[in-house]
């Protein structure tokens, strides 16, 4: 009697056995509907067995094995099993999460007839590509030269031509009949990027995958990947679970980005899972970033040379200390830059893109020591002068403050009351624009009290500074300037966000006040000054990744200034000017 072992979406770390007389090995990886309690559920068959540890008489029979789409491959099941083990999540919850909602429910999207693109694929790519820079060329060759599993870190600032390198590497994979998977952060999956990939591979079948897509489209993309029709899958973290029978290359762009880590349910890191998958498939994986995560940077830094007779620990590395791949430093033309000599593992290969592809100077960064200065509403004389100068020249400035609201807390100085959240351990942030106190952690909100709830004092004081307060101050200080605030409150919908971006691009704003929303992926040709205020808080935050994230944000926000013909300047206000983070 055949028995199928089914992974069901239940918070129980076990499989469920059902009788399925007509099943065979080819049903492993198929979806199956089964009775469960009074209800019916859909799961995935992960094994076929001849006997169950439960007596046969007690087993129920499957309702139906769904044979309307190809079985999920063994590699996909292995990936889910790894995640179940590693992230301590029942396998059924993992398989369920890894399937698009429609397939998870046992349904199937209407499949369009394969279009004519099958006939033209792999189609020739556009000709007339710009010649690669030497560092790009070296990176492309290093990736092409990889045989089997190898992790490469493409390290270069925004605009240094990383995407160009990914596209060349993907091109080579398509030419060989393979499939490529490119993971990007949530915020980076834009129509522009899709357009750039599609324009480069006009005949190729490209599938996008992200949680914002309509159910049917996502399920269709999944099936196209599974059947091998899709050649390139471009997606956010969940795309790491796309079944790809001919997968030959994985790219993780902005590998440090926090959105690759899911913070609820299956708490996976798509970057790490992607590396595991590449290892399992014995294929190369390229991680790209201007500000790699510390883990990645550590693995891409050389191992210290082993102490040798006649030498000491500080002697130069041998260049061949890697256990996990080709020797570091063996690829011609790649500069490793000045790396700390100690501490790395040398497991990844570092590929540096040291300059911007389109010649532009990097902005000048200046640290402003605010310890000895009386600030005006939080702004130093140097920053105020910088803003004034940009106004006179008709250029744009950005004041970066990664804290929305008016003030991070409302306080009663006489009695010591502060606005704490009733529902969690965070403080309530003062939003003066609509007279609310809001918890940015759990979402609780309430009206601003007229008087102190503890002592009745009516002189409650906002403590600290958020974007709304900074905006109010700048409006007062520079009455002739058009001040625009960009944060999650002012850009609460995609439509409002697009409108704000359009205003900036049209040159209809002089001073931008913004949070990290503004840091990524936008070119503002008129922007020549970035002022950073309130960054010190991240140095001492409870989250151990806060300084690392601050560094990435400063690099990104700094990169916003002076990207076109006008040179850029970055002024960072700090009370810790000698802190290694600012020095770096
Ligand atoms: P990144 O991904 O590092 O931000 P991109 O690959 O997007 O960099 O390159 C930045 C810009 O430079 C793009 O407009 C791209 O088309 C252009 N570019 C990249 N490589 C070259 C090259 N070798 N020659 C000329 N332009 C290039
Ligand atoms: Zn709260
Ligand atoms: Zn009080």
Ligand 1 near 209 CB (within 6 A): no
Residues 539/333, Cβ–Cβ less than 8 Å? no
- Pocket perturbation via mutation, ligand 1, pick of 136, 154, 161, 521 by most ligand atoms within 8 A of CB: 161
Least confident stretch, 72-81, 147-156, 190-199, 307-316 = 307-316
Per-residue pLDDT reduced to its tens digit, 343-356: 799 999 999 998 87
pLDDT band at 329 (very low <50, low <70, confident <90, very high): very low
Rounded distance from Cα 431 to ligand 2 centre (Å): 15
The ligand 1 atom at the shortest distance from the C-alpha of residue 158 is 4
Predicted confidence (pLDDT) at residue 206 exceeds the cutoff of 80:
yes
Distances (CA, A) of 313 to 271, 322, 341: 33, 17, 10
* Angstrom distance (rounded) from CA 270 to CA 236: 9
Q: Which two tokens stand for residue 276?
A: 């595991």
Ligand 1 near 289 CB (within 6 A): no
Q: What is the pLDDT of residue 261?
A: 96
pLDDT band at 564 (very low <50, low <70, confident <90, very high): low
pLDDT band at 563 (very low <50, low <70, confident <90, very high): low
The ligand 1 atom at the shortest distance from the C-alpha of residue 353 is 3
118 or 115: whose pLDDT is higher?
115
Q: What is the pLDDT of residue 521?
A: 60
Q: What is the pLDDT of residue 319?
A: 37
pLDDT band at 189 (very low <50, low <70, confident <90, very high): confident
The ligand 1 atom at the shortest distance from the C-alpha of residue 160 is 3
Using only C-alpha atoms, the chain has a radius of gyration, in whole angstroms, of: 27
Q: What percent of the chain has pLDDT over 90?
A: 72
Rounded distance from Cα 163 to ligand 1 centre (Å): 7
From the CA of 457, the nearest ligand is 3
Rounded distance from Cα 452 to ligand 3 centre (Å): 5
Among candidate residues 446, 414, 415, 454, the one with its CA nearest the CA of residue 430: 446
Average pLDDT over residues 319-340: 37
Q: Is the dihedral of CA 498, 478, 468, 572 positive or negative?
A: positive
Predicted confidence (pLDDT) at residue 57 exceeds the cutoff of 90:
no
* Angstrom distance (rounded) from CA 467 to CA 460: 19
Q: What is the pLDDT of residue 188?
A: 72
pLDDT band at 157 (very low <50, low <70, confident <90, very high): confident
Ligand 1 near 358 CB (within 6 A): yes
Q: Which two tokens stand for residue 247?
A: 């997968």
Rounded distance from Cα 410 to ligand 3 centre (Å): 11
The secondary element (H helix, E strand) that includes residue 153 is: strand 150-156
Q: What is the pLDDT of residue 342?
A: 58
Q: What is the pLDDT of residue 351?
A: 97
Ligand 1 near 357 CB (within 6 A): yes
From the CA of 453, the nearest ligand is 3
Q: Which two tokens stand for residue 253?
A: 């762009």
SS3 of residue 189 by DSSP: coil
Average pLDDT, the chain: 88
pTM reported for the whole predicted model: 0.83
- Pocket perturbation via mutation, ligand 1, pick of 286, 358, 519 by most ligand atoms within 8 A of CB: 358
pLDDT band at 333 (very low <50, low <70, confident <90, very high): very low
Ligand 1 near 162 CB (within 6 A): yes
Per-residue pLDDT reduced to its tens digit, 461-490: 999 899 999 999 999 999 999 999 999 999
- Closest residue CA from atom 23 of ligand 1: 132
Q: What is the pLDDT of residue 296?
A: 97
Predicted confidence (pLDDT) at residue 283 exceeds the cutoff of 50:
yes
From the CA of 155, the nearest ligand is 1
* Angstrom distance (rounded) from CA 302 to CA 321: 8
Distances (CA, A) of 382 to 130, 283, 368, 470, 571: 41, 52, 8, 16, 8
Ligand 1 near 462 CB (within 6 A): no
Q: What is the pLDDT of residue 555?
A: 86
Q: What is the pLDDT of residue 114?
A: 60
* Angstrom distance (rounded) from CA 217 to CA 219: 5
Q: What is the pLDDT of residue 495?
A: 92
SS3 of residue 530 by DSSP: strand
Name the residue with tokens 């503002």: 524
Predicted confidence (pLDDT) at residue 16 exceeds the cutoff of 50:
yes
The ligand 1 atom at the shortest distance from the C-alpha of residue 130 is 24
- Closest residue CA from atom 27 of ligand 1: 357
From the CA of 132, the nearest ligand is 1
Predicted confidence (pLDDT) at residue 317 exceeds the cutoff of 90:
no
SS3 of residue 446 by DSSP: strand
Average pLDDT over residues 238-255: 97
Q: What is the pLDDT of residue 297?
A: 95
Rounded distance from Cα 436 to ligand 2 centre (Å): 14
- Closest residue CA from atom 11 of ligand 1: 159
Q: What is the pLDDT of residue 418?
A: 94
pLDDT band at 121 (very low <50, low <70, confident <90, very high): very low
Q: What is the pLDDT of residue 125?
A: 52
The ligand 1 atom at the shortest distance from the C-alpha of residue 166 is 6
Predicted confidence (pLDDT) at residue 153 exceeds the cutoff of 90:
yes
Ligand 1 near 159 CB (within 6 A): yes
Ligand 1 near 100 CB (within 6 A): no
Rounded distance from Cα 418 to ligand 3 centre (Å): 8
Rounded distance from Cα 210 to ligand 2 centre (Å): 29
User: Do you find a cis peptide bond into 122, omega within 30 degrees of 0?
Assistant: yes
Residues with Cβ < 8 Å from 425, sequence gap 6 or more? Answer: 441
Q: What is the pLDDT of residue 335?
A: 36
Least confident stretch, 103-112, 123-132, 373-382 = 123-132
φ, ψ for residue 41, nearest 5 deg: -130, 160
């Amino acid at each position: 009697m055949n028995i199928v072992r089914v992974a069901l979406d239940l918070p129980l770390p076990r499989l469920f056995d059902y009788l399925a007389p007509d099943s065979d090995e080819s049903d492993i990886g198929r979806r199956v509907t089964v009775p469960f309690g009074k209800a019916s559920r859909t799961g995935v068959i992960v094994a076929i067995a001849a006997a169950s540890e439960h007596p046969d008489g007690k087993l129920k029979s499957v309702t139906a094995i769904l044979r309307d789409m190809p079985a999920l491959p063994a590699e996909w099941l292995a990936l889910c099993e790894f995640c179940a083990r590693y992230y301590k999540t029942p396998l059924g919850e993992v398989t369920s999460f890894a399937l698009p909602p429609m397939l998870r429910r046992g349904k199937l999207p209407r499949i369009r007839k394969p279009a004519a693109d099958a006939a033209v694929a792999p189609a020739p790519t556009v000709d007339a590509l710009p010649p690669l820079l030497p560092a790009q060329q070296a990176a492309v060759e290093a990736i092409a030269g990889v045989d089997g599993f190898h992790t490469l870190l493409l390290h270069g600032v925004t605009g240094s031509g990383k995407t160009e390198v990914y596209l060349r590497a993907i091109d080579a994979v398509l030419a060989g009949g393979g499939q490529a998977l490119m993971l990007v952060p949530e915020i980076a999956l834009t129509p522009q990027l899709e357009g750039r990939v599609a324009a480069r591979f006009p005949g190729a079948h490209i599938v996008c995958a992200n949680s914002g897509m309509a159910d049917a489209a996502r399920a269709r993309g999944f099936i196209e990947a599974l059947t091998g029709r899709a050649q390139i899958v471009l997606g956010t973290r969940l795309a790491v679970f796309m079944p790809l029978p001919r997968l030959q290359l994985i790219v993780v762009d902005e590998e440090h980005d926090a959105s690759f880590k899911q913070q609820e349910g299956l708490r996976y890191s798509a970057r790490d899972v992607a590396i595991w998958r590449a290892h399992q498939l014995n294929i190369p994986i390229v991680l790209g970033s201007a500000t790699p995560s510390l883990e990645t940077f550590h693995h891409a830094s050389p191992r210290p040379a082993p102490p040798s007779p006649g030498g000491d620990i500080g002697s130069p590395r041998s260049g061949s200390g890697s256990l996990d791949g080709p020797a570091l430093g063996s690829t011609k033309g790649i500069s490793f830059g000045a790396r700390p000599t100690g501490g790395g593992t040398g497991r990844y290969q570092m590929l540096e893109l040291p300059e911007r592809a389109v010649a532009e100077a990097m902005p000048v960064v200046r640290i402003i020591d605010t310890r000895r200065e009386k600030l005006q509403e939080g702004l130093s004389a140097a920053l105020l002068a910088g803003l004034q100068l940009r106004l006179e020249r008709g250029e744009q400035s950005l004041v970066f403050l990664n804290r929305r609201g008016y003030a991070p807390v409302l306080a009663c100085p006489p009695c010591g009351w502060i606005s704490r959240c009733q529902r969690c351990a965070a403080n309530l942030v003062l939003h003066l624009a609509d007279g609310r106190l809001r918890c940015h952690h759990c979402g609780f909100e309430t009206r601003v009290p007229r008087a102190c709830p503890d002592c009745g004092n009516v002189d409650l004081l906002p403590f600290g500074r958020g974007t709304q307060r900074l905006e109010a101050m700048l409006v007062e200080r520079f009455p002739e300037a058009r001040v625009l605030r960009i944060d999650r409150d002012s850009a609460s919908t995609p439509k409002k966000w697009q409108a704000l971006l359009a205003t900036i691009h049209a040159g209809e704003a002089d001073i931008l006040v913004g949070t990290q929303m503004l840091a990524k992926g936008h070119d503002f040709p008129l922007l020549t000054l970035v002022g950073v205020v309130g960054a010190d808080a991240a140095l001492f935050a409870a989250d151990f990744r806060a300084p690392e994230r601050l560094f990435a944000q400063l690099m990104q926000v700094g990169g916003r200034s002076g990207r076109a013909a006008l040179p850029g300047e970055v002024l960072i206000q700090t009370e810790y000017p000698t802190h290694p983070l600012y020095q770096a």
